[in-house]
Structure formats: C-alpha cells, structure tokens
Structure 1
Amino acid sequence: MLPYARQSVDEEDIAAVVRVLNSDFLTTGPEVPAFEAAFAEYVGAPHAVACSSGTAGLHLACLALGLKPGDQVIVPTISFVATANCARYCGADVIFCDVDPDSGLATAETVREAMDRADRSKLKAVFVVHLTGAAVDLARISSVTQEAGVALIEDACHSLGTRYDIEPGRQGLVGDCALSDFTVFSFHPVKTITTGEGGMITTRDPEAAERLSRARNHGLIRTPEDWVETSMAFDPVDGEPNPWFYEQQDIGYNYRLTDIQAALGRSQLRKLPKLADRRRQLAEQYRRRSVSFGTNARLVSSAHNPDAVLHLMVALIDFETVGLTRREVMLRLKNRGIGSQVHYIPIHCQPYYREMSATPDLPGASRYYARCLSLPFYPDMTVDDVDTVCSALSDVLG
C-alpha cells in the first residue's frame, strides 16, 4: 500500500535518539537549544523557539502577540483547523478569507476582502498558510498587512525549505521572517522533517522570542533580574539569588519539546537538502506524468513557485464531469493499493465556526475543496511508484 504520506527515518536518526536515551537528559537538556540554533541558522532567522507541535507554535505566536477576547484575526479557510483554533484559544474572533481556486493559497485580494468584513479597530493579525508547501505571495500580502498596521503570521507547517520572493530579484527562505512577525513549522511524521510530534516558531524580535520561551514552559521566569517577588527570591544574608527559585508572572503552558525529539530533529535537519531535492524530483515526475490524467484532472498550480519543497501532491479533479464521486475515486485507488486524502475541508464549514458567526460564500475555497485529492508523496517513494499512482488515477478517471 502506498500511503498518501509517511515519515522517512534512517539509521542515523535512530542512533541520534538512542544517544539521548543513554544520556543524562531526556528533556530540558542541551539538545533543544542545539536544535533551535541549527534551525535558526538554516532558515536565516535570529531566533527559533521549539515547542511540542505546530499547533502549540501557532498558539504561542498568538500569546506573544497578546491576542485576547474581542480581537479579530484573518485566517484562510483552506487549512487544518489548528490555524483558526489557535486564535480561539486566546478568545479572538476569526474572520475567514477566501483562496485562489487553483492553488488553495490566500492572496492579497482575498485578504483585503476579508479585511473589509472585519472591524479594523479590532483586527490584530493576518495568518497565511503556505498550503502544500508552495509559498503565498508574501510580498504583496505583507504590504497589505503593513498598510493596515496588523501582524502577519506564516503558518509554514507545510513549507520547510521553500523559497519565496521578498522583492524582484531577491529571494528569502520561508522562516526567515523578513516580511512577517512569526513563522510556525510542524514536525509531524508526514512533514518534510519530523520529530515525531513537534514544532518551531521563528521571529526577528528578541523580546517576542523571550515571551515564546516563557509561555511554552508554564510562564516560569528563572532570571533573577526579572523577578519581582524579592523577599523569597534572594538570600537574606548575602542577597544572592536562591538557586531553587522561579517565578510565574503570567499564565503559560507545557509546550516543551523533549531532548529525544530534538535529537531526531537535528538529525533530520542535516538531511533536509537531500530530502528537499528528492521531493523536487518526485514532483517533477508527477508533473511529467500528469498529462495522462486527461482534461478532467490536473495537479495544483505551482507556476509561481516551481522550486517549492512540496509537502503534499494535490490533484484537482472534476469529479462531476468524470461521473464519479470523490469517495468512489478514493476507494478505487485504495483497491489498487494507493492511499489518498483530502486537504482540507474549509474551516468555516465546520459546525463550531458556522454556529459562531455567518461567513459569506467563499467561492475560491469551495471550488478548490470540491476538486482536491492528495496523492502519495514522500521521499522514500520511487519514480516507479509515481508512475504507478499516475497510471492508476488515469485508469480510474477513464
């Protein structure tokens, strides 16, 4: 069975984990800061803060922004529910924006349209999602958010290793935060690199990085210069800091990454160039073979981002014209040993959000969702596997 995605773990990764298991620290040890430093260097951001999941990273970014009840944020409706949920954790209201029907990506135009539906006095942030691994037009969207005076958060859980245009003739790497306040990554097993579960937030703001670090660890402060409860914090005789003392000045969470996970992440990060190249090779083979799909199916458009390190390989299928439902296509592929999935159900259609407030018709998202189907795509696939998938889909579609 070819699943739609799976992790790629080798003996070096296993050895890195075993090394930590044989060490003194399984958590709160040296592996996490080492992983953070290596990751920050790779993406070109001054600060990287590791956490327990991509969802935790999105929540921490919302906390660092100080989102609260009554605030509003804009979120593309084509994403996993976590992108919207993280704002709700803080009590903020979500305004959903539409996406391009052929890429699933938010655009400057769809963000502006959502802003027109928002209360500008309450709007605090815009989230963008680099869906499938292809980057949004960050330069144009950033100009919109800067003009509106709101923060920009990149949900980059799909797009580690992808480059984007900062300006004509100048590219950046997703995560460098050249045009955004925070970028959040996921290390779930099906992502480009994995820590089992885990996430990372990058930023250029040192104070924000400190807030992120505190919030992931119950809000605890261990630096004496920041303590306010001086009667308990310092020795009454010599005035030196008490070595056991810590202080909580705000609420926080247990969103830490373990040293076991960080060791796996460091090992995977060292192989990221190879993993990225392999994904590009497989994507190119899919593009070559997709001509066999006929006129009723094609791959998601990535013309503006041809060298993206894709996380998902999504086909857009006109199921109505083909005369098959999506479920029927998925079952027929499964019978041929090929897994598939749907990414994603528009979030504004979920009962929780539908009952919270009415969202107008978002035609781009509706069109994208009606046609999307994720095909097998992961580094351990072979070119022959891609040929098998494409041939099977062509046969199923007739």
Structure 2
Amino acid sequence: MKPIPYGRQHITEADIQAVVETLQSDFLTQGPKVAEFEQAFARYVGAKYAVAVSNGTAALHLCAMALGVNETSRVITTPITFVASANCVRYCGGTVEFADIDPATALIDIAKVRQMVESKPKGYYSGVIPVDFAGNPVNLEQLRELADEHGLWIVEDAAHAPGGFFVDSQGKKQFCGNGRYADMAIFSFHPVKHIATSEGGMITTNDEELYKKLLLYRTHGITRDPELLQENHGGWYMEMQELGYNYRIPDMLCALGITQLARADEGMARRKQIARVYDEAFAGATGIDVLGTNPAALTADGETGHAYHLYVIQVQDRKGLYDFLREHNIFAQVHYIPAHTMPYYRGVGYKKGDFPEAEGYYEACLSLPMYPSLTDEEQQYVIEKVKAFCKA
C-alpha cells in the first residue's frame, strides 16, 4: 500500500488551469482574483465581508489588531488548538488565559469559560477565541450570550470548519464564519484544509468598521482611497495611516481558491461519507473511542454540521498505535499538543496539570486519514490496521 497521510490536498486540472491563466494575466498580486475569491467565500459562509490574507495566522493577528488587543487585554482560548489561536494575542502584547475542554468533544468548555469570566470583575477579560476543533462547531449562540453579558468580543477560529454549522435555539443552521454570533471568524487554506491555496487565510465579518480596519492593516496600514486620505498630491499618492503588515495573498493563490471553493460541497459530502464509514467500523470496538460531535451540530433529522477536517479516535496506547500505523505506511497524526504545555507558555506561568481534560485528551488522541481523495480501499486498510493493533 502506498503511503496514506492524515490529510492532503486535491488538485485538479481545473485548479491548474485557473492558476496558469492568472500567471498569464496582468496581475500576479493585488489584482481582481483577490476580490473575486473574497466575494465568493463570503457568499459561501453567509457573511457580509471577507478579507483574504497570506495565511490563517495572519488572519488571527489582524483580528486581534482590529479589536485593539494590547498590553491590558486578557483573552480566553482553548489549549487544544494550533498555537496560533493563542499567539495572536501575544503578538499584540495581550495576556492569554486558557479554559479547559469538554472531554466528549475536545471543544472549549463554555461552562468553564463562564466560571472564569464570572470569577472576575466586568472588564477583566476582553474576549474569547473559540476553536471549531476538527471541524466540530462550537455553539456560538451560547457563547454570545455570555459575551454580551460581560462585554466580550468573539473571534471564531474556524480554520477547520468551512461549511460546518451548528443549530441555534430556533432550529436554524448557523454556518461557521457567518458573523451572526462572532465579531469575526478566520479560516485557513493550508494544503490539508478543506480549501487549499498552498498557503492562505480568510477573515469574515458582518461589521463594516472592522472590515475597513482589516483592509488597512493587511497592506502596511496604507490606503489610496481618496475619501480616507488626509492629503492628496495626485494619482500616485498614498498614506500610511496605521502600523500594518504585508499580509496580502497573491492572485494566483486566490485563483486556486476560487476553483477549490467551487468543489467545497462535493468535498464536504465525501468527508462526511468517510466519517460514517469510520463510525460504523469502530462502533462498539474494544479499546477505540471516537471523539464525539457537539450535539448542537446535529439537526432534528440527523444531519451533522461537523465539517470533519479531522477524524479523531482515542486509544490507551496512542504511541504504540501511531508507530504501528507508520510501519504500515499510514501516517496518522496527533492534534494537538496542549498549548499551555509548550515551553513558551510554561515560561509565562503555565504548567502540566493546569488543564487535566485537555491533557487527558492529548495522551490518547490520534487523527486518522481524512481527505476527499482517500479511496474506499485505503480507508478499509486503515480500519483493518487500527483494529488489528487494538485487538493485539
């Protein structure tokens, strides 16, 4: 069996042709494909505005900047995430505080967030960065209620969940990144994600003021908009009005994103099909626990809003299974090492034992291959090897 990774991009001839056409056009960057991708993505998630950037980490950083995170800010996030979800706060000088997870889903535990917020005076915390881990949507309606009570902003890290949704109290699907409950949301277009642009990210929001800040900060804090200029010396004139960054994304990557987005529903359907096969294979299997779906992501008729960026199981001998699978050309992965146990965060006061649910999850978790081009034969091979090890 050829190597089977935990995730991989799926590039078609249409993708390649779109990139070639852009390479042959007048614009390689700052051209029309950027706005085209932004508009298509905003429609896809149901948001008013979208801002394309160089990667998901840049997206998080710009969100923190636009919200005014600074040395006085305290922001809550989950320890089970890629460290960028926390680092964006540190980039702006703010303090990161972690809330433990719900062990059933590995999502941030909103009850624990409430305990943290209510234990401090109003204004002590600035905001919350929930993560739709593995594609499993956080119930942002519940989190928004808490945020409104205490004056908090919300940045939804939906890097794993384009096309995912939860069901609100009115029975309506709320798609990740639609801006109904979060002030902003971010997405990643890394090759293992649903939509691959090599590198790339997106911010979505329904707030026009935040949208304008994001556009400014994305390009060095520079504007050419005549309505915003403090002076105007002529058609060449531009002004740096804020300290921004070069977080632009090239047109050729946006061209790839547009064609990838056109297949997003097809890819999502395949991911859910793969998940169902895994679910059926591991149902009742001794020694194999499947990470659960947030109940809020299930409709009354059984449809799931889980976007399945990852398919995570938990086993007692995770290291043994990881090594065994690699010996058989299956390159499963671990997501994630708890952020608070990283040397950097230990250096600011965190230690092992601070978040027992997150640490317990980490000791047992393993992400199995999950991507649309995974064949039925490859998936059955993965299932066979996982079961063989867990029965040994």
* AA in 2 matched with 1:302: T
Partners of 2:305 and 2:94 in 1: how far apart?
36
- Partner residue, 2:127: 125
* AA in 2 matched with 1:339: F
Deviations 1:257-279 (A, max 9, x none): 10010000000001111011111
- SS at the partner of 2:148? helix
- SS at the partner of 2:35? helix
1:314 corresponds to which of 299, 312, 315: 312
- Partner residue, 2:300: none
Partners of 2:255 and 2:116 in 1: how far apart?
41
Partners of 1:367 and 1:327 in 2: how far apart?
14
TM-fit CA distance, 1:120: 4.1
Deviations 1:215-235 (A, max 9, x none): 01000011122122x2xx23x
- Partner residue, 1:277: 269
Q: How does 1:1-398 map to 2 (within 5 A)?
A: 1-116=3-118, 120-228=122-230, 230=231, 233-234=232-233, 242-291=234-283, 293-294=285-286, 296-302=287-293, 304=295, 305=297, 306-319=304-317, 326-358=318-350, 361-398=354-391
TM-fit CA distance, 1:211: 0.4
Deviates more, 1:152-161 or 1:107-116: 107-116
Partners of 1:378 and 1:210 in 2: how far apart?
35
TM-fit CA distance, 1:337: 1.4
- SS at the partner of 1:123? coil
Partners of 1:8 and 1:102 in 2: how far apart?
31
Percent of aligned pairs sharing the same letter:
40
TM-score by length of 2: 0.94
TM-fit CA distance, 1:292: 6.6
Deviations 1:135-168 (A, max 9, x none): 0121111111111111011000000110112323
Partners of 1:358 and 1:161 in 2: how far apart?
34
- SS at the partner of 1:135? coil
Which consecutive unaligned segments of at least 5 residues does structure 1 have? Answer: 235-241, 320-325
- SS at the partner of 1:172? strand
Contact 2:123 2:151 survives alignment (8 Å) = no
- SS at the partner of 1:164? strand
Which consecutive unaligned segments of at least 5 residues does structure 2 have? Answer: 298-303
Deviations 1:96-145 (A, max 9, x none): 11001121101320211332566643411100000000101211111111
Partners of 1:189 and 1:99 in 2: how far apart?
27
Cα 1:303–1:172 change in 2 (3 A) is closer
Cα 1:94–1:25 change in 2 (3 A) is same
Cα 1:186–1:118 change in 2 (3 A) is farther
Partners of 1:352 and 1:216 in 2: how far apart?
27
TM-score by length of 1: 0.93
Contact 2:341 2:350 survives alignment (8 Å) = no
* AA in 1 matched with 2:194: T
Cα 1:118–1:28 change in 2 (3 A) is farther
Contact 2:123 2:150 survives alignment (8 Å) = no
Deviations 1:24-75 (A, max 9, x none): 1110100000000111111111100000000000001001101111211001
Cα RMSD, aligned residues only: 1.4
- SS at the partner of 1:374? strand
- Partner residue, 2:301: none
Partners of 1:185 and 1:280 in 2: how far apart?
20
* AA in 1 matched with 2:144: S
Partners of 2:85 and 2:211 in 1: how far apart?
20
- Alignment size in residue pairs: 381
TM-fit CA distance, 1:327: 2.4
Partners of 1:388 and 1:303 in 2: how far apart?
28
